[in-house]
Amino acid sequence: MTQQISTGFRTYLNDGTANDTIGHFKLNADFLRSYAGTKPKFGFNGLGEFVFYRTYSRVKKDGAKETFLDMAIRVIEGCYEIQRLHCKKFHIPFDLDKAQKSAQEMFQRMWEFKFLPPGRGLWMMGTDFMWEKGSASLNNCAFVSTDDKIEADPAEPFCFLMDMSLLGVGVGFDTKGAGKVRIKRPDDIIKPYMISDSREGWVDSVRSLIHSFTTTNNEGSLEFDYSLIRPANAIIKGFGGKAAGPGILQELHELIKNHLTRRIGSTLSSVDITDIMNYIGRCVVAGNVRRTAEIAFGNADDFAYSSMKNPIATLNKDEVGKFYECTQKIYSSMRSEATLEDFNGSGIPEERLVPAIETWNALNHHRWASNNSVFANVGMNYDKIGEQIAANGEPGLIWLDNIRDYGRMIDGRQPGIDGRVMGTNPCCEQSLESYELCCLCETFPANHENVDDYMRTLKFAYLYAKTVTLLPTHNARTNHVMLRNRRIGLSQSGIVQAFAKFGRRKMLTEFCDAGFQEIKRWDSIYADWLCIQKSIKVTSVKPSGSVSLLAGATPGIHYPEAGTYWRTVRVAKDSVLVKILSDAGYRIEPSITDKDRTVVVYFGVTDERVQAVDEAGIWQQMANATDYQRYWADNQVSCTIKFKQNEAKEISKVLEVYEDQTKGISFLPHTGHNYPQAPYIPCTKEEVDEYNKGIRDADYSEFINEALGSKFCDGDSCELS
């Protein structure tokens, strides 16, 4: 079992050698008074404000929901309190007046959407949960390798993923532990097991279950008692949101138990590892307030792994159309599981049909929980991978040697500069060692007046991310890596907007190249003051998600779906949000897929400064990604390149041309979202302008005790839905 450190993190930072005469850091009351009763300029014609209340507004102790002002105060004061206590613990000078001025400027730059902490930080920074449980919940993402001592503890990689996922952290994993753990039949003994009502209790139950099929099989089978687990919809006071009840945990236990029983006598395969991780992801997603993000990494020549999401791998070419014709009928009947009877009359032989059905069912049941990618090598043949990507958008690729031997590409090869890296987070923007977590902070260059303004913002975005590294997590192995590396990721969103505003050349040289040097300068200054290591890497480009919507920025380095479009959002029919948005004049209609429980809200968005994604080919998108890998990101650039059908044949060529200039990339077919109530529906500027004339400011004062909790994942797979 992974060693857990003490959970008294405020006590950990406060060494108790003297009375604390200052008390918790607070922003100046006169400063805050000028913001009372106001709100920032949210992005995208009301969408940004809606996203804030739906996703990041916590319930306060008095029962009211946070305004953006409340949230910003909590975040800024929590950040500077971590600094204060760190200095107190190590007897380092802390100038309260200087800190107050610094905190006020950080607040102002958040308020003006020049930068924002990650969604994790907006939700958790400054909360009691952070002080009690540590900094894991403040971090975006993590990675764990199954090659990391899995023989000694076969359950640990799975439990790490589950633990961090339940805290909202996206987790990557590899399949390098395949063939190292043998599955054994538990002895014919029943061993009662009472599950405690906590995150730790859930994780430990999975640990014990996996052990019962591996290291402790001689102790017999476990009989779980779920009676202590709180019922569904009970309020979770610490983390926030509502409990899911014991049912989803019971289902997870059954899935793992049945899977391992089928594999008794065999060793864990790459498919087994991925499936068990996906069962866990499915459980976390079903937990009502939480979303999880997973990415799996396997070998490019592992056919069993690479075909996990390809149900047609066993079919002949003339059978593929018949297979999809049948599955479309299953979808239209709102089912997610197929049977042999569904394919009566298809003429597909059973020996090829059965594995195709099993793969299709698994994909719809749990294999959707991870993006599956492969380790690539410079010089390899990309033809087969290009064909797979053209068929279903996977796998993505990372070049691990490039990650280990390069920071920014412009700085040249530096062998072993990050030599312990084993993989990346789910969106591939962070280089990560096994058990390492990372904190990313998002900047919005297009929301600045000039380069000097942006350089000033970089100081505070850096300071927020670096501050998170001062507070340990609850996991000792994670702390061993994080406190050594102090890895952070300052990101940019609205990049294509900034290209349009400042010019591409100026962005790459003055904002990116010079900006990177400015961050490194601040890293030297603050590492010296705080008596800690410089960060091993400091910059990246995350794909972004709901955070960029608050600021009115396009996500990361990606192009928008259109210059003018309807952005649809699904909301529970009985939510008070429906009345609030209806009173403000928004178009609301029943969801065509769930008329009884869900409605769809339309937001009209216009941003004609930038190209739409269907106007930017795969070569242009790849050039943007590699230029940002060259001039900005010493970690990685997360970029999902959207390709049109006539560009599919170019994928292998793109990979061959850019393999030594990038660290990771993924592709996705551009479907055009040409179906009813799609997330993005292109329309005319005149339509949006006329629509927005009838929209009034939404009054969210009624939105009490409706906190859904942050979805936390900032990737394309976890977009606002």
Distance CA 375, CA 299 (A): 6
Distance CA 296, CA 272 (A): 12
Residue with tokens 């609030």: 580
Catalytic residues: 427, 429
CA distances from 577 to 50, 220, 582, 708 (A): 9, 50, 8, 12
Token pair, residue 659, equals 């393999």
Burial class (CB in 10 A: 0-12, 13-18, 19+), 226: middle
**Cβ count near 257 (within 10 Å):** 18
Tell me which residue of 390, 372, 373, 335 sits closest to 357, measured CA to CA.
Answer: 335
Q: What share of the chain is helix, strand, coil (3-state, %, to 5)?
A: 45, 15, 40
Distance CA 555, CA 548 (A): 6
Distance CA 385, CA 382 (A): 5
Residues 6+ apart with CB under 8 A from 51: 546, 549, 550, 720
Mean pLDDT by 10 residues, the chain (721 residues): 55 60 88 95 94 90 89 98 96 96 98 96 94 93 94 97 93 97 97 94 97 97 95 65 82 98 98 98 70 87 93 92 91 84 94 95 93 96 94 92 98 98 96 97 98 98 98 96 97 97 97 98 97 98 92 95 90 90 95 87 88 92 98 98 94 98 94 76 93 93 56 41 40
CA distances from 476 to 160, 238, 481, 482 (A): 12, 22, 9, 10
Distance CA 51, CA 43 (A): 10
**Cβ count near 145 (within 10 Å):** 22
Distance CA 251, CA 249 (A): 5
The model's pLDDT over 298-349, given as tens digits with 9 standing for 90+, comes to 999 999 999 999 999 999 989 999 999 999 888 777 788 999 999 999 999 9
Tell me which residue of 397, 428, 431 sits closest to 414, measured CA to CA.
Answer: 431
Tell me which residue of 470, 481, 476, 480 sits closest to 431, measured CA to CA.
Answer: 481
CB 666 within 8 A of CB 552: no
Distance CA 372, CA 307 (A): 10
In this prediction, residue 703 carries a pLDDT of 78
In this prediction, residue 608 carries a pLDDT of 76
In this prediction, residue 678 carries a pLDDT of 86
H helices of 142-225, in order, are 156-166, 199-212
In this prediction, residue 236 carries a pLDDT of 64
Distance CA 116, CA 71 (A): 12
Distance CA 558, CA 427 (A): 13
The model's pLDDT over 433-467, given as tens digits with 9 standing for 90+, comes to 999 999 999 999 999 999 999 999 999 999 999 99
DSSP label of 716? G
This prediction's pTM: 0.92
In this prediction, residue 417 carries a pLDDT of 97
In this prediction, residue 1 carries a pLDDT of 46
The number of angstroms, rounded, from the C-alpha of 233 to the middle of its chain's C-alpha atoms is 24
In this prediction, residue 710 carries a pLDDT of 41
CA distances from 445 to 10, 371, 492, 559 (A): 35, 29, 7, 15
Helix axis angle, 514-530 to 451-468, nearest 10°: 40
Tell me which residue of 396, 395, 398 sits closest to 376, measured CA to CA.
Answer: 398
